């Protein structure tokens, strides 16, 4: 292996947990250099939610590394496969989605992805292009190329089978459909999260069955969410969206548990930070991390403004510079000029219901004009403006 290829391999290997097989990637890179044909690097996108998160950014950043080396990124939108409901690492089949829901979620995906990817080196394909046109005979031919025994090697299928829980034939079709995506776009490399390893390896087998050179499989770890416990997900709410406002992004990153600082630097930035630096001052390391990430997605000026806003609220304990203003429905004001705290919180829009308002107040998570609401039965004098706060980062001014 020459030094140039070795350097590329070292760069691409950084931050991955599986590269299968590395020897094939070396051969593909060498062949690309000789022929001038860029590698086609595939990443499947699940259109189950409308926003991309920092968790999505990990494989997208890996794709950008390939693009910077002259290769083509192919985003495959799973508009067809999402209707199948792949359980991935879940314990049961995921609910199916309608075409309308999928289309609505995909409206801003490309714009968000281009915050990371090079548009000139990106193809966006929808797998309904080829999967939607397969005949039943084509599907039977595809299923004949893989065995039930091999399918049951997948951990979640094996566990459910051993426990006597249902696995539908439809679920067996998902890895085959995803593998056929690789055939349809002639993928040289497929990227994905570590939970997708089985499906990506099926892609190698199916490509071989259709007479193609098998793709290299490269997986990245699942990013732990800001709660420090579960994988980042919009479903659990422990995420940072790459299109979120700079102040929201900065605040969320400042809230992460200390053990996440090093992996967030490694997977979300190009900064190499010494563990000793983190240990000396985790707070300073978080501030540097937040500045780096907000700069990536919003620019240095916005990052500096977000830092100043954070300091204003959390260090100097002053009100934010810009706060949404809402007019209170005057019917909520009692004859004595007070308003029930639960009504005020619900009217602010910072909670979804009076029930949630009660819970937040009981947990001590709500303030008015900087003072914690003492209890859910509290009546507050209505002397606007009232600065209503829920948690550390959510504010509304009621007038």
pLDDT tens profile 108-154: 888 899 999 999 999 999 999 999 999 999 999 999 999 888 898 88
Q: Minimal CA–CA distance to 351: which of 339, 340, 338, 365?
A: 365
Structural contact between residues 105 and 171, judged by C-beta atoms closer than 8 angstroms: no
The phi and psi torsions of 108 (rounded to 5 degrees) equal: -110, 5
Under CATH, to which class is 325-398 assigned? alpha beta
Written as six digits, the tokens of 4 are 């140039």
For the ranges 112-116, 225-229, 386-390, the lowest mean pLDDT is seen at 386-390
What pLDDT is stored for residue 92 in this prediction? 47
- What residues form DSSP beta bridges with 340? 379
Q: Residue 41, Cα to own-chain centre: how many angstroms?
A: 19
- The beta strand positions in the chain, using DSSP E, are 18-20, 40-45, 72-77, 122-126, 189-193, 216-220, 325-326, 338-340, 366-368, 371-372, 379-381, 386-390, 394-398
What pLDDT is stored for residue 121 in this prediction? 97
394-398 vs 325-326, strand pairing mode: parallel
Residues of the chain with CATH 3.40.50.620: 3-220
For the ranges 96-105, 238-247, 353-362, 389-398, the lowest mean pLDDT is seen at 96-105
- Say which residue, 243 or 93, is predicted with more confidence: 243
Written as six digits, the tokens of 332 are 């909520």
Buried b or exposed e, range 223-233, using 16+ CB within 10 angstroms:
bbbbeeeebbe
Q: Which residues contact 133 (CB under 8 A, 6 or more apart)?
A: none
Secondary structure of residue 394 in the 3-state scheme: strand
What is the rounded distance in angstroms from the CA atom of residue 191 to the CA atom of residue 189?
7
What pLDDT is stored for residue 63 in this prediction? 97
Is-cis flag, bond preceding 281, omega within 30? Answer: no
Average pLDDT over residues 391-396: 78
What pLDDT is stored for residue 321 in this prediction? 65
Secondary structure of residue 326 in the 3-state scheme: strand
What pLDDT is stored for residue 104 in this prediction? 77
pTM: 0.79
Helices 197-209 and 169-185, interaxial angle, to 10°? 60
Does the pLDDT of residue 370 top 80, yes or no? no
Question: What are the percentages of helix, strand and coil residues in the chain, rounded to 5?
Answer: 50, 15, 35
Secondary structure of residue 36 in the 3-state scheme: coil
Task: Give counts: helices (H), strands (E), the chain.
Answer: 18, 13
- What residues form DSSP beta bridges with 241? 53
Mean of the per-residue pLDDT values of the chain: 89
Structural contact between residues 303 and 291, judged by C-beta atoms closer than 8 angstroms: yes
DSSP symbol at 14: T
Say if domain 3-220 classifies as CATH 3.40.50.620: yes
- Say which residue, 89 or 36, is predicted with more confidence: 36
Say if domain 246-314 classifies as CATH 1.10.240.10: yes
Average pLDDT over residues 216-235: 93
Q: DSSP per residue over 208-263, as a string?
A: HHTTPPPPEEEEEPPPB-TTSSSB--TTTT---BTTS-HHHHHHHHHTS-GGGHHH
What pLDDT is stored for residue 203 in this prediction? 96
What pLDDT is stored for residue 192 in this prediction? 95
Residues of the chain with CATH 3.10.290.10: 325-398
* Cβ count within 10 A of residue 87: 17
Residues of the chain with CATH 1.10.240.10: 246-314
Written as six digits, the tokens of 118 are 């090079």
Would the CA dihedral through 143, 149, 154, 155 be positive or negative? positive
Structural contact between residues 46 and 174, judged by C-beta atoms closer than 8 angstroms: no
Q: Minimal CA–CA distance to 307: which of 320, 321, 319, 290?
A: 290
What pLDDT is stored for residue 268 in this prediction? 95
What is the rounded distance in angstroms from the CA atom of residue 148 to the CA atom of residue 165?
16
Average pLDDT over residues 298-312: 91
């Amino acid at each position: 292996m020459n030094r140039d290829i070795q350097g590329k391999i070292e760069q691409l290997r950084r931050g991955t947990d599986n590269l299968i097989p590395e020897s094939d990637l070396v051969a593909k890179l060498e062949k690309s250099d000789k022929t001038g044909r860029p590698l086609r690097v595939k990443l499947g996108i699940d259109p189950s939610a409308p926003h991309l998160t920092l968790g999505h950014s990990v494989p997208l950043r890996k794709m950008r590394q390939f693009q910077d080396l002259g290769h083509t990124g192919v985003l495959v939108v799973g508009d067809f496969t999402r209707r199948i409901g792949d359980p991935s690492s879940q314990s049961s089949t995921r609910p199916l989605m309608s075409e309308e829901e999928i289309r609505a979620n995909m409206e801003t995906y490309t714009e968000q992805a281009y915050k990371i990817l090079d548009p000139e080196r990106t193809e966006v394909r929808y797998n309904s292009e080829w999967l939607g046109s397969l005949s039943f005979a084509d599907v039977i031919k595809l299923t004949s190329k893989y065995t039930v025994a091999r399918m049951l090697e997948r951990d979640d299928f094996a566990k459910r089978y051993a426990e006597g829980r249902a696995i539908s034939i439809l679920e067996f079709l998902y890895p085959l459909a995803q593998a056929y995506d690789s055939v349809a776009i002639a993928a040289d490399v497929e990227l994905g999260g570590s939970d997708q390893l089985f499906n990506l390896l099926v892609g190698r087998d199916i490509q071989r069955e259709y007479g193609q050179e098998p793709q290299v499989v490269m997986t990245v770890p699942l990013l732990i969410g800001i709660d420090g416990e579960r994988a980042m997900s919009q479903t659990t709410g422990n995420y940072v969206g790459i299109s979120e406002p700079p102040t929201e992004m900065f605040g969320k990153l400042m809230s992460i548990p200390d053990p996440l600082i090093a992996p967030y630097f490694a997977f979300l930035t190009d900064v190499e930070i010494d563990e000793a630096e983190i240990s000396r001052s985790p707070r300073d390391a978080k501030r540097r991390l937040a500045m780096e990430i907000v700069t990536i997605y919003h620019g240095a000026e916005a990052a500096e403004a977000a830092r100043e806003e954070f300091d204003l609220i959390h260090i100097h304990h002053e009100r934010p510079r810009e706060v949404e203003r809402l007019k209170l429905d005057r019917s909520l004001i009692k004859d004595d000029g007070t308003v029930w705290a639960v009504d005020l919180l619900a009217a602010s829009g910072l909670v979804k219901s009076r029930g949630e308002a009660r819970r937040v107040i009981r947990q001590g998570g709500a303030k008015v004009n900087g003072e914690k609401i003492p209890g859910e039965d509290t009546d507050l004098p209505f002397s606007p403006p009232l600065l209503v706060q829920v948690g550390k980062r959510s504010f509304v001014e009621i007038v």
